[in-house]
Amino acid sequence: MFYFLERERLLPPLLVIDALASSSNARLGDVRSYLLGVLRAEEELTKQEQVLIEKYSAETKAIRQQIRAIETSNVIFRANLCNACNQHLELPSVHFLCQHSFHQQ
């Protein structure tokens, strides 16, 4: 029963404990193992979210550095091919700060 409740997350753990407290069939060992499983799952979720936070922080830092570089320095365009049709660029061409270049037409 506890495995099903833990796996399906039908109720928050506090409501499960509250329901079990009023039950005469629940054993303390079962409740303990259920709570340990819930805590392990929460710990794993916390670790996964921490990894995502670190990843997004690094990506944000890199993007901020790119923005600073665009704001404070010259951007040299060396594109030879159009990003839309992959053909050689002919003048006039349109260049964007994201390093994409296109034929004007």
pLDDT tens for the 105 residues of the chain, in order:
555 666 677 778 888 778 777 777 878 787 888 888 888 989 999 999 999 999 999 999 999 998 898 888 887 777 889 999 999 988 888 988 888 899 888
Query: Are both 55 and 81 inside the same structural domain?
Result: no
* Count of the separate structural domains present in the chain: 2
What pTM did the predictor assign? Answer: 0.57
Query: Are both 29 and 60 inside the same structural domain?
Result: yes
Query: Are both 13 and 52 inside the same structural domain?
Result: yes
Query: Are both 47 and 86 inside the same structural domain?
Result: no
Whole-number Å distance between alpha carbons of 13 and 34: 9
Query: Are both 57 and 94 inside the same structural domain?
Result: no
41-78 as b/e: b if 16+ CB within 10 A: eeeeeeeeeeeeeeeeeeeeeeeeeeeeeeeeeeeeee
Query: Are both 30 and 48 inside the same structural domain?
Result: yes
Domain around 9: 2-73
Write the single-letter amino acid at 99: Q
